[in-house]
């Protein structure tokens, strides 16, 4: 079986109420990324943050994060596109990645494409109420085609994201049309907690994705669980030949002693080795995904 690609999802927009080890500043992000790399991660996914943890909307902050990550380790860099307004124009949403790609020191490796649209209101089940009722994460086919062209044009690897089977079908159509090249990388976003848009973070939720997936050697898949812990799914994913994306951005892991991102990555890497599956380095990941540089 191919080596396991571990991605550290280090922060998203997580705060520090439960686990204070969420990195926010560029320096913290770079140090955390290097620690995760040392623990077995091949990819780091980050969101730029202000010093107080608020989302950063500055392309330069993304550039600073990437140059610091690059200086500290060889981990592959996967920034979010989600730092601009949800209703911004497609060109604006992908623009920072395209401009950063022109500068070797600030160049990302991946750029994400969420392959469909969905409600992303948060539902507080304990209180029985929605916190918002009108948040739509909108990614039209035209927007996604623009992203595919812009990302390929910038020489970056598209990172396909599926929240449910409809997103996966859209991703497969893009592969069929060769709007996205094989080998492709596809992340299944399971959602526990307050976001209802994904399949639940259960074996059944994951199986619903996998049952829909064609047997295609040109399609590598990974799994995260936004809003919930994922250690309970790690053995299943490793055995099924998938890859793993995990970190404090998705969940605080308070019930597991509030580990750091690197401690979480080390746990996954140890589990993989115990189950007879080696862990991929960044360079091996580049080769598996046919990334140019």
Residues numbered 135 to 154 that lie near Zn ion (CB under 5 A) are none
Which lies closer to Zn ion via its Cβ, residue 84 or residue 173? 84
Q: Could you give the C-alpha distances from 214 to 141, 172, 211, 223, 291, in angstroms and in order? A: 21, 9, 8, 16, 23
Which lies closer to Zn ion via its Cβ, residue 12 or residue 35? 12
The CA distance from 45 to 65, in Å, is: 11
Stretch that binds Zn ion, among 10-18, 187-195, 226-234, 282-290 (CB under 5 A): 10-18
3-state secondary structure of 210: helix
Pair 66, 30: CB distance under 8 Å: no
List phi, psi (to 5°) of 17: -60, -45
CB of 22 to Zn ion, least distance (A): 13
CB of 277 to Zn ion, least distance (A): 25
Which lies closer to Zn ion via its Cβ, residue 12 or residue 229? 12
Which lies closer to Zn ion via its Cβ, residue 9 or residue 267? 9
Report how many helices (DSSP H) and strands (DSSP E) the chain contains, helices first: 9, 12
Which lies closer to Zn ion via its Cβ, residue 82 or residue 155? 82
The residue whose two tokens read 């085609």 is: 145
CB of 173 to Zn ion, least distance (A): 24
100, two tokens: 């950063």
Which lies closer to Zn ion via its Cβ, residue 39 or residue 224? 224
Residues numbered 12 to 41 that lie near Zn ion (CB under 5 A) are 12
Is 80 a binding residue for Zn ion by CB under 5 A? The answer is: yes
Is 225 a binding residue for Zn ion by CB under 5 A? The answer is: no
Stretch that binds Zn ion, among 5-13, 197-205, 225-233, 265-273 (CB under 5 A): 5-13
Helix (H) / strand (E) containing 47: none
CB of 250 to Zn ion, least distance (A): 9
Q: Could you give the C-alpha distances from 2 to 181, 233, 289, in angstroms and in order? A: 20, 19, 12
Is 118 a binding residue for Zn ion by CB under 5 A? The answer is: no
Pair 272, 246: CB distance under 8 Å: no
Q: Which residues bind Zn ion (CB under 5 A)?
A: 12, 80
């Amino acid at each position: 079986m191919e080596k396991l690609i571990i991605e550290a999802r280090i922060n998203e927009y997580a705060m520090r109420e439960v686990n204070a080890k969420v990195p926010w500043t560029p320096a913290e992000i770079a140090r955390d990324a290097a620690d995760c790399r040392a623990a077995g991660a091949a990819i780091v996914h980050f969101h730029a943050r202000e010093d107080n943890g608020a989302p950063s909307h500055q392309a330069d902050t993304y550039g600073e994060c990437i140059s610091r990550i690059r200086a500290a380790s060889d981990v592959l860099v996967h920034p979010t596109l989600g730092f601009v307004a949800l209703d911004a124009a497609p060109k604006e949403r992908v623009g920072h990645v395209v401009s950063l790609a022109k500068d070797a020191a600030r160049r990302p490796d991946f750029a994400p494409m969420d392959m469909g649209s969905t409600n992303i209101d948060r539902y507080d089940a304990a209180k029985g109420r929605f916190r918002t009722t009108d948040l739509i994460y909108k990614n039209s086919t035209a927007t996604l085609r623009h992203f595919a062209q812009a990302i390929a044009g910038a020489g970056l690897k598209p990172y396909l994201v599926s929240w449910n089977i409809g997103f996966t079908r859209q991703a497969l159509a893009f592969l069929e049309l060769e709007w996205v090249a094989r080998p492709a990388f596809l992340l299944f976003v399971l959602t526990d907690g307050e976001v209802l848009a994904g399949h639940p973070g259960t074996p059944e939720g994951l199986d619903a994705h996998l049952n829909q997936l064609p047997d295609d050697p040109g399609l590598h898949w990974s799994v995260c669980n936004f809003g919930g812990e994922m250690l309970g799914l790690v053995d299943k994913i490793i055995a099924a030949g998938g890859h793993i994306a995990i970190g404090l951005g998705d969940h605080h892991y308070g019930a597991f002693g509030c580990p750091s991102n690197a401690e979480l990555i080390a746990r996954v890497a140890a589990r993989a080795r115990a189950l007879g599956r080696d862990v991929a380095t960044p360079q091996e990941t580049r080769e598996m995904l046919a990334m140019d540089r």
